Amino acid sequence: MKLLFFRNTISIFSLLLILLATSCQPKQKPVTADEAKIFAQKLESSLERRNPDFMDEAIAKTEFFKKAGLGSGKEARSFGAGLEQSMKMGSAIIKSISKKGTYQLVKQYEKNNAQYALFRLYDDGSLNYHDIELTRSDGNVKIADIYIYTSGEYLSETIKGLFLQMKDLVDKKGTSLQDQWIKKLPEMRKLMNEGKYDEASAIYKSLPADVQKMRAVQIIHVLVNSGLDDNDEYAAAIEEYQKLYPNEPNMHLLLLDGYILKKEYDKALKGINEMDRMINKDPFLDYYRYLIYNLKEDKENSKICIERLVKNMPDFEDGMMELIATYIEENNETAAKEWIEKYKQKSSFDQERLATFIDGTGL
C-alpha cells in the first residue's frame, strides 16, 4: 500500500501575505449561529466549485488589523505594502491544491459568544485545519481571524510575530523591510505551488541566517523540504525546527512525517490522537490511524479504523478504496464485491482507478 506522507503543499505565506487596512466603524451586533452556518456553507461551496471570490473578499480588514497590532509607523506601512500581492486567500488555496483537493467544513461552534467554523484542508495525504473566527463588519459576516493548525497560532499572531522579527533585523542592521530577501518569500510560495521544491529550497538557503531562524520561515523550511526527494534533508529540517522552537502546539502536524520516517509509529498515533483532542473530534482522522496501524502491521486495528471511517464518511474516495483493499487482502470476497458495487455507484469517484486496482483479482 502506498504511504501517504502528510505533506502540506499550502505555503504559510499564501495566508501570511495579506494587505491590512484601517478605518473607523461602529460597534456591530454579534454573528448568530444561523448566519455562521450560512457563511460556512457558502465558503465551502465556493471553494468546492474552485471559485475564490467569496473567500478572497471575506477578511474583515479593520478587525484583523487591530488583532495583528502592527501599529501605524513607517515600518508597519512598509510591511503592509509588501503584503499587497497575496491578499487573496481563496485564490491562494485553490492554486495550491489539486483537482481532488478538498476544503470541507468539520463543524460550526460557539465560544466566548463568538461564532467559529472549523475547516479541514486535505489533498493527497496533505492535511491542515483552519479554525475561522467570524465577526460582523459593515453589516456583513466576515472573517476576523484564522487559527492555522500547521503554524499553531492565529494568522494575526503569525503576521505580528513576523513583522516584529523583521523590524528587529531592521533596527539592528539598518536594512529596509523591502530588502531583496523579503521579496524572495513570495517567490518561494509560488515555486512550492508549482511543485518546484528544489528551487524553493535554494531560495531558503540563500536567505540570511537570522531570517532563516524566524519561526514562520522555519515552518516554510519544513514544508519545502517535505516536497524534496531527500528524506535526510527533510528530517534535518524537522530537527532544526524542534531545536529552535521546542514544545510548539503545531508539532502534531509538522512531526507526523518525521515519526513515519523514523518508524516511530506509536508517536505518530499519539500525535493524531492529540490533534483529534484539540479540534474536539474529526472522523476523518481515522484514515491516518488506519495508515499508521497498517505500517505497524496491526491488521485488527487498521480494519476497525477504515470501517469506522467509511461508515462516517461514505463520500471519501480514498477511504472506500482502502476498505476494498482491506477486504481483498483478507480474502473476504463477499464484502469486497459489496463495496466495489458501492464505489461504482459514486459518479464522482475515479472508476478507471478502481478498474485498474481490481484487474486480475477476479472480482
pLDDT in tens, 33-75: 999 999 999 999 999 999 999 998 998 877 787 787 776 666 6
**Domain containing residue 124:** 13-249
Q: Is residue 329 part of a domain?
A: no
- pLDDT value of position 26: 52
From the list 153, 171, 173, 187, the residue with the least C-alpha distance to 82 is 187
Phi, psi of 43 (to 5 degrees): -65, -45
Among 44-53, 213-222, 241-250, which is the least confidently predicted range? 241-250
Lateral strand order in the sheet of 114-123: 102-111, 114-123, 126-137, 140-148, 153-154
Q: Is residue 110 part of a domain?
A: yes
Q: Is residue 308 part of a domain?
A: no
Domain count, the chain: 1
Mean residue pLDDT across the chain: 83
% of the chain exceeding 70 in pLDDT = 82
> Per DSSP, which regions of the chain are E strands?
102-111, 114-123, 126-137, 140-148, 153-154
Q: Are 121 and 93 in contact (CB under 8 A)?
A: yes
Q: Is residue 322 part of a domain?
A: no
Q: Is residue 321 part of a domain?
A: no
Q: Are 31 and 174 in contact (CB under 8 A)?
A: no
- pLDDT value of position 187: 80
- pLDDT value of position 82: 54
Overall average pLDDT of the 86-107 stretch: 85
Overall average pLDDT of the 268-289 stretch: 93
In whole angstroms, give the CA distance from residue 38 to residue 46.
12
CA 220 to chain centre: 12
Contacts of 257 (CB under 8 A, 6+ apart): 5, 6, 7, 226, 234, 238
In whole angstroms, give the CA distance from residue 59 to residue 113.
20
Report how far apart, in Å, the C-alpha atoms of 330 and of each of 12, 153, 333 are. 42, 43, 9
Q: Is residue 290 part of a domain?
A: no
* 133 band by pLDDT with thresholds 50, 70 and 90: very high
Q: Which residue has the higher pLDDT, 161 or 166?
A: 161
Overall average pLDDT of the 247-272 stretch: 82
This prediction has a pTM of 0.81
- pLDDT value of position 228: 85
Q: Is residue 342 part of a domain?
A: no
In whole angstroms, give the CA distance from residue 360 to residue 355.
10
Q: Which residue has the higher pLDDT, 241 or 249?
A: 241
Q: Is residue 26 part of a domain?
A: yes
Q: Is 143 helix (H, G, I), strand (E, B) or coil?
A: strand
- pLDDT value of position 261: 78
Overall average pLDDT of the 21-38 stretch: 73
- The CB density around residue 199, as the number of other CB atoms within 10 Å, is 15
From the list 288, 286, 267, 8, the residue with the least C-alpha distance to 130 is 8
Residue 252 has pLDDT above 80, yes or no: no
